[in-house]
Homo-oligomer: A and B are copies of this chain.
Amino acid sequence: MSLEQMARNAKAASKVLALSDQVMKNNALSAMADALLLEKAYLQNENNKDMQAGREANMSEALLDRLLLTDARIEDMAKGLKDLCDMPDPIGQVTESWRTENGLQISRQSVPLGVILMIYEARPNVTADAAGLCLKSGNAVILRGSRSAIHSNIAIASVLKRALADTGIPTDAIQLVEDVSHEAVGELLRMNNWIDLAIPRGGAGLIKSVVSQASIPVIETGTGNCHLYVDAPADLSKALAITMNGKVQRPGVCNALETLLVHKDVADAFLPMALEALKTAGVEIRGCDQTMTYGKEIAAATEDDYATEFHDLILAVKVVDSFADAVSHINRYSSGHSDVIVTESYSHAQAFLNEIDSACVYVNASSRFSDGSQFGFGAEIGISTQKMHARGPMGIQALTSYKYTICGKGQIRE
């Protein structure tokens, strides 16, 4: 089947799905979950092919671990689908309704977007998660995972599609692109007639390549160069806990900390203690001149370090002269994901919330909370770092649009 035919089929399926009620959609999600559990052995067998290819290609242990489908991970995928059944239907919600002077009743009602193209890297669970989120929100999905997970992804998608067979939801609502070439993605990204939105999920290179090739709308996600600024005055024990939580708990995720800024007035009190704790946790520090005076092992931070999302146990550290310097550093280098101030100053807290131009702006809390489930949205399809359509953690609500319905009694315009 050609890619265009696949996209046309997805569009046709999206029209059926848009008119499907909650019961049908939830039955389908439940059938999908059951099917994953039933087919564990098959899924793990196929996953093993990817693992073997990964080992032969000398893939890092960290990447191999992300690729692996354990029993628990398959159960998590199934649970994710079951959890969606319990969420309210995001479609058909009237968010506003008003009557105009001449008696027209205008209502704004949520509708699906249509066909969503998900482009993602290694982790095969995204295949099931994205399929579930799109289905719940009435959208057809075209899944395009990475070459390294192709056997796992084909297996998961085929199990999910087969589960749709007796649910009334067309199996074309879930499609997996088996052609993992760059050309195939490029072609899909220009199918404005059939695909309504692309969501790339992965590293900065993937996102940039999608944005530059696409003529269909794109939501950029997940590039997280996140900052923590320790102000003066600040509660330094909170600052320490938030620093460690941000950098050490899960350094490979997008809401982890990448740069620590410290006001010069608290640097002597805070940095020796913080740097010691970071060192003990195995964090490599790249610091400004003043930071380097606190330890011989500290390397000099370059301009590039401040602009980099390390995704690793590395932290850039800089002492700043003022609140204003911290804000201007963050607005210059931040990827607009999540930035934090730890402060006891009311006016600095307010100014930080106002002046930092990022999706999630925190006072005295860890950036690690930037997450759909932590926000109470249930599962998330990604974290938007752009301003159009949806920003920050995106739940199923972010996969909807709206229409206006206008009910009259024969009104014409004067």
Contacts and interface: CB of A to CB of B under 8 A. Distances in A.
Contacts of A111: 357, 387
Contacts of A15: 331, 357
A233 to B, nearest CB: 14
Nearest to A211: B215
Given A369-B104, A388-B388, A360 B406 contact: yes
Contacts of A347: none
Contacts of A393: 404
B410 A359 contact: no
A249 interface: yes
Contacts of A318: none
Given A217-B217, A217-B386, A388-B113, A412 B366 contact: yes
A363 B408 contact: yes
A413 B362 contact: no
Contacts of A6: none
A5 interface: no
Nearest to A107: B353
Interface residues of A, number: 67
B403 A360 contact: yes
A100 interface: yes
Nearest to A375: B106
A281 to B, nearest CB: 14
Contacts of A244: 412
Interface in A362-414: 362-366, 368-369, 374-376, 386-389, 391-393, 401-413
B413 A369 contact: yes
A242 to B, nearest CB: 6
Contacts of A386: 217
Given A212-B215, A214-B215, A411-B369, A353 B405 contact: yes
A60 to B, nearest CB: 25
Q: Oligomeric state, in number of copies?
A: 2
A23 to B, nearest CB: 16
A401 B385 CA distance: 12
A324 B184 CA distance: 36
Interface string A86-118: 000000000000101000101000010110000
Nearest to A246: B412
A388 B197 contact: yes
Interface string A11-32: 0000100110000000000000
A8 B413 CA distance: 43
A70 interface: no
A361 interface: yes
B19 A365 contact: no
Contacts of A361: 403-406
Nearest to A412: B245
Contact of A391 (B364, B402, B407): B402
A59 interface: no
B404 A359 contact: yes
A221 to B, nearest CB: 14
B364 A413 contact: no
Given A19-B355, A357-B111, A366-B411, A403 B374 contact: no
Interface in A331-360: 331, 349, 353-355, 357-360
Interface of A: 15, 18-19, 98, 100, 104, 106, 111, 113-114, 192, 196-197, 211-212, 214-215, 217-218, 235, 237-238, 241-242, 244-245, 249, 331, 349, 353-355, 357-366, 368-369, 374-376, 386-389, 391-393, 401-413
Top 3 closest pairs, chain A to chain B, by CB = A365-B408, A387-B401, A238-B410
19 contacts: A18-B357, A19-B355, A100-B374, A111-B387, A113-B387, A196-B388, A197-B388, A238-B409, A349-B407, A353-B407, A360-B406, A362-B406, A363-B405, A363-B408, A364-B407, A368-B413, A369-B411, A374-B413, A389-B389
